[in-house]
């Protein structure tokens, strides 16, 4: 009989299975999760424009959770922000190795980014946001994208820290929803409500979710927002990724592992650790978080930002946002920012994911 808390055991087992996925499966499940979150974001953007301004914000938050509900119920989807709690639970309980944790993170985040951008292209080409830059949903998409970089653009240090804390709030609530969903077992209606309320809350309070933003900002760019890909990565994705990792890993994962005894598979039944022992075990788990953040921030945020800057300003010089007519709409009107830059970034993400996956195949990280 394991002395690991039943919910922690279920979460860590789910995390263990995530670390065993093949490269293509993990990349595809990451893509699926990016699309699911983007579907919720799409619905929220459109529905919020169908009601009066007094109800717009509430409706936006109310329908957004369909994305995570789909991920939990459908399966076959690997959301990085959820993996900030789920796969570390597998390493904390010694069901998986640190190297396996990183391999999952690489493919989940990379797949989420690719899926989010691809869905943004689909939405742009479908014209469901409208056929002019002033159409309700298109204007909303532009406002969201420009708003998500405004704080850091105006005050880099202060805005960056603000976005980090917004990211913490968001992923605490996201993993609160996941934790409750797993704890609900087979009670389907309980799962729906336990997922819906925290996700609605994170949207309603204005916190920041890096995977959702990987859709919100690209669709804003495709709609005509005065935002560059460089700004998207540095002004938003980087601080929000940082906050999301802390919120899921520390505020939910390590918190609940600590409060349930910090047990692992090697602990005999009936083991009770002192508070000092539990604190020691928890502190050791900060090392994988720091190492993982450095790798992810460099490989999936900073280098893509450099690539985008090089393309936007160095070779093609698309600054100024000159747009070509495409079916008389603002959608995908700039060849560089709407097609070349994201395609190059997607190719880079796939390549770096392969490289890192191979590099960590036999890499042993001990703590």
Domains with residue ranges and CATH for the chain: 6-174+202-359 (1.20.1080.10)
What residues of the chain score a pLDDT lower than 70? 1, 132-134, 314-331, 362-367
Please give the pLDDT value at position 190. 86
> For 268, which DSSP code?
P
* Spatial separation of the C-alpha atoms in residues 100 and 317, rounded to whole Å: 40
Please give the pLDDT value at position 325. 45
* Spatial separation of the C-alpha atoms in residues 88 and 94, rounded to whole Å: 9
Q: Identify which of 41, 26, 215 has the alpha carbon closest to the alpha carbon of residue 116.
A: 215
> For 360, which DSSP code?
T
Residues in Cβ contact with 185 at an 8 Å cutoff, skipping those fewer than 6 apart: none
Please give the pLDDT value at position 243. 98
CB 146 within 8 A of CB 227: yes
Please give the pLDDT value at position 318. 46
Please give the pLDDT value at position 322. 42
pLDDT tens figures, 43-64:
999 999 888 877 888 999 999 9
* Spatial separation of the C-alpha atoms in residues 271 and 259, rounded to whole Å: 14
pLDDT tens figures, 127-168:
898 876 667 888 999 999 999 999 999 999 999 999 999 999
pTM for the model = 0.93
């Amino acid at each position: 009989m394991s002395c690991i808390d039943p919910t922690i055991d279920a979460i860590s087992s789910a995390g263990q299975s995530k670390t065993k996925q093949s490269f293509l499966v993990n990349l595809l499940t990451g893509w699926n999760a990016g699309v699911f979150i983007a579907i919720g974001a799409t619905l929220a953007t459109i529905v919020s424009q169908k009601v009066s301004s007094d109800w717009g914000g509430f409706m936006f938050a109310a329908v957004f959770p369909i994305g995570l509900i789909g991920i939990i119920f459908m399966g076959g989807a690997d959301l990085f922000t959820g993996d900030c709690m789920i796969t570390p639970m597998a390493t904390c309980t010694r069901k998986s190795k640190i190297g396996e944790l990183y391999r999952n993170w690489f493919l989940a985040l990379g797949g989420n980014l690719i899926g989010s951008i691809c869905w943004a292209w689909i939405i742009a080409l479908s014209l469901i946001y409208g056929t002019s830059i002033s159409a309700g949903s298109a204007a909303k998409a532009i406002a969201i994208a420009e708003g998500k970089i405004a704080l850091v653009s105006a005050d880099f240090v202060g805005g960056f820290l603000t976005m980090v804390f917004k990211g913490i709030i968001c992923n605490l609530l996201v993993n609160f929803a996941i934790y409750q969903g797993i704890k609900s077992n087979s009670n389907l209606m309980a799962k729906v409500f336990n997922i819906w309320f925290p996700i609605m809350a994170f949207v309603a309070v204005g916190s920041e979710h890096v995977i959702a933003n990987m859709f919100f900002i690209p669709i804003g760019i495709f709609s005509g927002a005065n935002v560059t890909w460089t700004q998207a990565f540095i002004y938003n994705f980087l601080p929000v990724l940082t906050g999301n990792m802390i919120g899921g890993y520390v505020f939910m994962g390590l918190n609940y592992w600590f409060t349930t005894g910090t047990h692992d598979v090697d602990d005999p039944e009936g083991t009770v650790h002192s508070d000092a022992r539990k604190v020691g075990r928890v502190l050791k788990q900060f090392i994988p978080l720091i190492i993982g953040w450095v790798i992810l921030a460099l490989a999936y945020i900073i280098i893509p930002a450099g690539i985008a800057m090089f393309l936007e300003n160095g070779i093609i010089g698309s600054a100024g946002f000159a747009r070509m007519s495409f079916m008389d709409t603002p959608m995908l009107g700039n060849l560089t920012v709407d097609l070349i830059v994201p395609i190059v970034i997607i190719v880079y993400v796939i390549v770096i994911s392969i490289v890192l996956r191979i590099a960590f195949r036999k890499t042993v990280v001990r703590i």
